[in-house]
Structures are given as C-alpha cells and as structure tokens.
Chain A
Amino acid sequence: MAVGITYEQAKKKAWGGFFLLLIVTLAEVFIALLGNGHIIDGFTLSRLIMYPAMIILSLYKAYYIVKEFMHMGYELKGLVLSVVLPFLLLIWAVIAFLWEGAFWHDSREFIKEQNELAPADDETGFILRDKGELPEEIYFI
C-alpha cells in the first residue's frame, strides 16, 4: 500500500507481512517452549535470555503492524510524531510500577519475617498481622 507501488506489488506485500508476523510469532512460541523444557527433555534456557528475546520480537511485531498495516510509515512527519511521542511516557510508567511492585513484594516478605519473629499477641507488631483476621474480599493477593 506504500505510495508509488503497483496493485500487484501491494498485494504481495500484504501477504508477505502475514508470513513475517506468523514466523515471528512461531519463533516466540518456540523460544517459550524450548526455554521451559518442553521440546528437549531437561534442556532449559535462562529467563535472562528468554524474556528479552520475546520482548524484542513482540516490539518488532508491533512496529511492523503500525508501519505497514496501519500505514504509519507513509504518513506526514507531524502525524507520526503526534501519535508516537506520547508513548515515550510509558517507558517510565513501566519502570516505576514494576519498581513499586517489587517494593510491595519486599514489604510483604518483611512483614512475614517479623510475624514469625514476634509472638502473635505482641502489641508492637505489624498492622497486617494475619490475612485470616480480615474479610476475604478486601485483600487482593
């Protein structure tokens, strides 16, 4: 659909895009299955290799869909920037919230440790002493 190519070329390009996305998806699933030991018995990959590989492949898929299928590669610069730039905000959002999640994790572990150290009736203990003291619906994890 790019500007200046014939109908036949455009048609070919559309189906080319299909095979590209399909191959990338199969590669992702292959990495997941291989890494988790489903393909070769007893063989696993480190998550430090698997996760970045799968994230990069997914980002590539997203880039291809936006550029070719959604025609973003052939729009004016002003439109492209006004759509793409806001997404830079997400970089910090991801870092900040995962950081926050890790902090919740550490806080939970800390409370658990302290509860094991302190006797149950100790007044100096922690606020969320035991999940069982609260109604089931109000905690989320």
Chain B
Amino acid sequence: MKRILVFGVFVLLLAGLVACAKSPAGPEDRVKHLGSQVRCPVCRGVPISESPSTLAAQMMDVVREQVAAGKSDDEVLKYFEDRYGEWVLLQPKPEGMNLVIWVLPAFVLVGGGAGILMQLRKRRGQSSAAPAKGN
C-alpha cells in the first residue's frame, strides 16, 4: 500500500513538473500557448497555432491583439468559447461531465500502476514459495 501511495505521489509530481516546464515566457510564447488550446474550426482536431488555414491565421491575430490589450488567458479563451461553443477548446474545462476526462487518465494510471505492482508482488511471492515446496 505504501508503495502505491509513493507511486501516486511520484506521478503527480511528474505531472506538475511537466506543466511548469510548459509555462510560456514572452507575449508571443503566450500567444502560441493560447493558440495551441483553441481548435481550428475548419480543420479536424488541429489547434489554430498549427493550422495553415486563413481563418486560423486570423484567429491567431485576434489572440495576439487580445494578449497585447492585456486580456487574461481565461478571457481570451472565453472570447472564442462564447462565439464557437465549448468544442473550440482543445482542453475541455474541468467541470461537470468533463471532470471524467480529467480524472479518468490519472485514475487509470494510478490504478494500472497499482495493478502491476500487485501482480509483481504476487509473482515474487509465488517464485519464492516454489523452491520451498520443492525442497
């Protein structure tokens, strides 16, 4: 049980480190970071920061203007959500039914890790018990 808890804490720390490493630095980094969270409406699952379409390029300009105007990340994302709906956000907001999407991967990861550990422990127990029976 102790090992499972240590494993869970390790996974959470790792996720935190990855999130910190991704934090944007300058305004253009922030624009790209925000653009990577907005779905291109005329593509399939591609963020506006990566789409070659004219609409996506113009949407990136809107993000740029709003960042320059001092809007917060939430305000910029809300602008697009208010117009195109929540599907325009590549990362659904962690609320309501969306919570399942956010919680499920961590649950599967911790649960899967715990399952593997338990299987390993079981096998180790069996292999150490087998020679004793033979002797």
Question: Do these two chains really belong together in a complex?
Answer: no
Which residues of B does A touch, CB under 8 Å?
A: none
